Structure 1
Amino acid sequence: MTSSTTTTQAQIFPGKGLGFISASLHNVLTRVKSYPQTYPAIDLAYSPADPLRNPVILQLPSNGLRLRFDGPDQRLRLIEVLEFSRVNLVYKNQDVLKGGKSAEQPLSTQGPSFRHVYNRLFGPSYPGEYVPPAEKSPYGTYVLSYPGVAFSFPLQHSAWSDQCDFVALLSSSAALPATAMSIFQGASWPEVRDKLFTQQPQYPRSSALIGKSRESLADEIEEWQVLGAGRLEVIRRTGSAVPITLGATSFQDLIADFGPPDAIYRKNDRRISIHRATGGNDIHLSPSPGSIQDGDHSSNNSVTDDSDEELAAFNIGDPTSLPAECFLNYFHHGFDAFISHPTTPGPAFPNSGVHDPAVAPPSSQLTVTKIILHGNVPGSYPFNRHRRTRWMIPLDDNNCLTSESPYNEISEQLRTAWRGYYASPTEERALRRPMVLNRGWGDSPESSVEFLGGWEETTSKGHRAGGEGQDGGLGNTEMFGFPGLLFEVLKNGAVSCLTVY
């Protein structure tokens, strides 16, 4: 596919999207990677130092598109068409450019004229905004805005005047065809420009949920609240909050609230069993393989084993067909759940007013015993396997940790909260050492990892403590533990994964 013949057709939805391009970074990138012939080049730009607070930019150079997402939630905020000749734009069955529907009528290398936009496509508009030229260019830019969409027209600076009728001016020879088009949420570009990445999104993260009822698809998760003592609360987009209690919430409860999982997986990995704590539980891995509709998880170099063959034997609708321990993978919701026989979850947070959980009695019923929340951090090894999940940990009335908090802040607050938990300062310092995980080597544990109940050493109460700081090295992630919590942390301090147990 050459640059001169790329003619992807895309319907314009003002304020919403372009074709299937809408919603979240995970949704868009998964779909785009599923069509490599249509989208042969994908460029992703983000801040290596702070990828969760700065915007993420996805550029499709062969298609003339640039997409901008906010960092914390990874919602699509702005679609820019930079080369009209590379995409066949359609609005209400009307071509934005003449030609493009047949080989005899190739797309123009220029954008639409003002007359075509004004008379044929979007109709009358309020006056737009004129941007003077930079340096000594003879052309400035006139931005013509409609609700949810705007066009940029080069305009001779010498012809511009505040007193001119903009319709007459843009219809004259002083104006050139549009060089760019933008799609955004808002009444006009000047109104939305300053709050582009901070305003409340109007639509769900998944395009599959747009216009669908709660009965047909599971409601979208907005945020997880980690309350301690094995208690979590799931804040949903439209429905009421869903409580989850580790060791009590059943497999059936999870299916009822979030729908069937995208995959069910069991894996027994012995490669790190040397780190099993004496008297503690095994170390478990959650590789999350499998596929989703229009999905592409090729960014993960999965370690091959025979457990993939076991997937066909699991009947999602029949809990009795599940193995004794397995992971339910919810790629579109951004989390995994470990299903096992009930275990006693971690203790309550100090000064939270919540009582420690009771010891779990022996039971044959399978329950949720661990929840893995994925950060989908750009640059991380499992990037784009799950959509980004946001969470918060309210320690007390004055302190609250979030999924965007740098780990040094998280570590400082948690160490202060748990200061009286350790037998001695020496024990606390010893357990501050992280475990290093290299996801890039084929013979090392890959994907989502949870080291639960096992470490090089244990405290007198059987829990691990977290640490601070990270070393240089091989670009690895590091695992830091606190009672009931396990953080996977990147070198830049971003939390890639949080496991609650």
Structure 2
Amino acid sequence: MPNKPAMQVHPRRGLGFLTLGASLHDILTRLKAQPRTYPTIDISYSSSEPLMIPVFLNLPSNGFRLRFDGPDQRLRLIEVLDFTKTQLRYNDKDLFKFPEASPTPAVDTGPAFRQIYNRMGLTNLEEYIPPILGSGSDQGILVWSYPGVAFTFPVQHANWSPKVDFVTLLSYTAPASALSMAIFDGRSWEEARSDLMIRACPYPRSLALSSRGRESRPDEVDLVRVGANGKILLDRRASSPFQMVLGKTTPQDLVAELGPPDAIYRKYDRRLSIHKTPPRDRKTGRAYSRSPPTNSDGLVDTDESSTHTSADDSDVEDHEMVKENTSSDLSAECFYNYFDHGFDVFISYPANRSPTLSPVESEEYGYESNTKKLVATKMLLHGNVPGSYPFNRYRRSRWVIDFQIAELDVNLDSETPYTALSESLAELWPGDLNKRAMVLNRDFWGDSPGSSCELLGSWEDSTNAQKKGMESNAKGGPGAGNTKLYGFPGLLFEVLKNDAVSCLTVY
């Protein structure tokens, strides 16, 4: 097999760098960074239940299929379906070799049972699966398992007998090549497949944490617990929880606990400024007429041309007053982007706000009065929902809304459809607040992801979007990138048309 990549087989752990438990975002990012080795990447998912049904990542040019659970998007199963695409090695030796007379083997050629037996040894973890009744097939499947790895072989049902041992059956009675190989976490395939998608993962989501040098990297966040009045608790994989308090947690606290951000983003978007309270002069109390920042302030504003209008002398005077008072403040405000954690934190100067819920006990809440100090004032938790516009920009962040109040009808978590979430939250805030929505068009508000992936599920509102690349889908028909924003006090939900929450903003 000349010019074929070689990958080490690690039972119960993974295949090469593909580590069980790794996040879909981490695996997909690594694969996309090697287009020559992995030229084709297909993603299959459920368009109606993208957070409940497993996500399949197919690599036809490499002969692999990767299976991720829906809620946490962690790698649970690695399948080798074509042994001719990649050279497999076990303990630094070839797991099998193709005959020299056939440098280009047939597609259905796989390792013989004797090759696997000689390389991996004997096992008593066998299982025979007879052909399905009424299928018309006379061929069953024999699963030859070791802890964490299993092979399947075709067997004529007429040749199988419980009195014949499996070694004899595969070596003499029905010698055949393996059809596939599976790598999983478990003692045997028969034992593991019952809870394959829900069992605890022994390895972290981050591939970097699975490799050397992990001591210098921050621990990953398992779950974000959103409490009342700006309190957010971050449960971590191996470290103690870290509590953020909006309006009090400083950027230094974030770097110390979560590590430096993957990126820092500064942007002032005028399209939302209409919903804000206009700034006022501290001496006169008069409201300014215009939001001040421009590109000359060092900020990114992609829509300046569409919002620029002529101004009279009074507007110019007001504009200069605002610029003098706030340009330095706004240039310091920014988003800390934590792509590997799955969230953003907005760093700004605090301002007064109403509490999320009335405190049960007498305690202080809200922002500090020291307006000269930058603090975390907002947190964006990204869902990484397959089929959404920002898919694979962030690792999926799982969250739960925990106000520590009376029992509600449903779980308030990241997997709950928004309709059920809103019905329960409406019990806390009576009225029609949750029914009012703003439409957010991702087609025009952001750049195309420019992905080489092929999405095999349906795009949000496009029936002809199947089997097209992400970039063409994102630039597709009207409304293809539309989402809706629903607000509750302190909470803002971005909801897709399939009722999945794409992003939760806590402020």
> Shorter-chain TM-score: what band?
0.7 to 0.9
What SS does the aligned partner of 2:427 have?
Answer: helix
* Partner in structure 1 of residue 32 of structure 2: 33
Unaligned regions of 5+ residues in structure 2, if any? Answer: 281-286, 292-299, 305-327, 450-477
* Partner in structure 1 of residue 437 of structure 2: 434
TM-fit CA distance, 1:6: 7.5
2:415 maps to 1:404: yes
Change (3 A) 1:182 1:474: closer
2:429 maps to 1:418: yes
Q: TM-score by structure 2 length?
A: 0.79
Letter aligned with residue 381 of structure 1: Y
Change (3 A) 1:133 1:191: same
Q: For the residues of structure 2 that align with 1:52 and 1:477, how far apart are their CA atoms?
A: 17
Q: For the residues of structure 2 that align with 1:272 and 1:254, how far apart are their CA atoms?
A: 27
* Partner in structure 2 of residue 316 of structure 1: none
2:23 maps to 1:24: yes
Q: For the residues of structure 2 that align with 1:256 and 1:214, how far apart are their CA atoms?
A: 16
CA contact under 8 A between 1:251 and 1:367: conserved in structure 2? Answer: yes
* Partner in structure 2 of residue 166 of structure 1: 166
1:453-473 Cα distance to aligned partner (Å, 9 max, x none) = xxxxxxxxxxxxxxxxxxx95
TM-fit CA distance, 1:39: 1.2
Change (3 A) 1:72 1:6: farther
Larger of the two Rg values belongs to structure: 2
1:10-32 Cα distance to aligned partner (Å, 9 max, x none) = 11111121111121111111111
CA contact under 8 A between 2:384 and 2:396: conserved in structure 1? Answer: yes
Letter aligned with residue 126 of structure 1: N
* Partner in structure 1 of residue 139 of structure 2: 139
Structure 1 segment 345-356 matched on structure 2, within 5 A? 346-350=354-358, 353=361, 355=363
TM-fit CA distance, 1:106: 5.0
Q: For the residues of structure 1 that align with 2:68 and 2:347, how far apart are their CA atoms?
A: 34
Give the share of equivalent positions with the same residue, in percent: 50
CA contact under 8 A between 2:234 and 2:242: conserved in structure 1? Answer: yes
TM-fit CA distance, 1:495: 0.5
Q: For the residues of structure 2 that align with 1:250 and 1:330, how far apart are their CA atoms?
A: 16
The counterpart of 1:375, out of the listed 367, 376, 383, is 383
2:504 maps to 1:498: yes
Change (3 A) 1:270 1:358: closer
CA contact under 8 A between 1:53 and 1:404: conserved in structure 2? Answer: yes
CA contact under 8 A between 1:69 and 1:75: conserved in structure 2? Answer: yes
Change (3 A) 1:33 1:17: same
* Partner in structure 2 of residue 129 of structure 1: 127
CA contact under 8 A between 2:228 and 2:356: conserved in structure 1? Answer: yes
TM-fit CA distance, 1:172: 1.3
Q: For the residues of structure 1 that align with 2:350 and 2:198, how far apart are their CA atoms?
A: 41
CA contact under 8 A between 1:439 and 1:447: conserved in structure 2? Answer: no
Q: For the residues of structure 2 that align with 1:350 and 1:413, how far apart are their CA atoms?
A: 17
* Partner in structure 1 of residue 249 of structure 2: 249
Q: For the residues of structure 2 that align with 1:104 and 1:154, how far apart are their CA atoms?
A: 22
Structure 1 segment 298-337 matched on structure 2, within 5 A? 323-337=331-345
* Partner in structure 2 of residue 157 of structure 1: 157
1:27-53 Cα distance to aligned partner (Å, 9 max, x none) = 111111111111111111111111111
* Partner in structure 2 of residue 299 of structure 1: none
Q: For the residues of structure 1 that align with 2:28 and 2:390, how far apart are their CA atoms?
A: 14
* Partner in structure 2 of residue 12 of structure 1: 9
* Partner in structure 2 of residue 51 of structure 1: 50
TM-fit CA distance, 1:352: 5.3
Q: For the residues of structure 1 that align with 2:334 and 2:214, how far apart are their CA atoms?
A: 28
CA contact under 8 A between 1:489 and 1:497: conserved in structure 2? Answer: yes
TM-fit CA distance, 1:137: 2.5
TM-fit CA distance, 1:98: 0.6
* Partner in structure 2 of residue 205 of structure 1: 205
2:489 maps to 1:483: yes
CA RMSD after TM alignment: 3.1
CA contact under 8 A between 1:303 and 1:446: conserved in structure 2? Answer: no
* Partner in structure 1 of residue 470 of structure 2: none
TM-fit CA distance, 1:326: 0.6
Letter aligned with residue 495 of structure 1: V
Unaligned regions of 5+ residues in structure 1, if any? Answer: 284-301, 307-319, 420-424, 449-471
Letter aligned with residue 334 of structure 1: G
Q: For the residues of structure 2 that align with 1:347 and 1:241, how far apart are their CA atoms?
A: 23
What SS does the aligned partner of 1:170 have?
Answer: helix
CA contact under 8 A between 1:391 and 1:403: conserved in structure 2? Answer: yes
Q: How many pairs were matched up? A: 432
Q: Larger deviation: 408-417 or 91-100?
A: 91-100
CA contact under 8 A between 2:229 and 2:366: conserved in structure 1? Answer: no
Q: For the residues of structure 2 that align with 1:124 and 1:393, how far apart are their CA atoms?
A: 50
Q: For the residues of structure 2 that align with 1:12 and 1:277, how far apart are their CA atoms?
A: 59
CA contact under 8 A between 1:6 and 1:62: conserved in structure 2? Answer: no
Q: For the residues of structure 2 that align with 1:275 and 1:447, how far apart are their CA atoms?
A: 27
Letter aligned with residue 398 of structure 2: R
Q: For the residues of structure 2 that align with 1:323 and 1:383, how far apart are their CA atoms?
A: 29
Q: Larger deviation: 356-365 or 136-145?
A: 356-365
Q: For the residues of structure 1 that align with 2:190 and 2:342, how far apart are their CA atoms?
A: 34
Q: For the residues of structure 2 that align with 1:303 and 1:358, how far apart are their CA atoms?
A: 30
1:122-178 Cα distance to aligned partner (Å, 9 max, x none) = 111014001112423232110011111000011121110001111111111513110
TM-fit CA distance, 1:446: 6.1
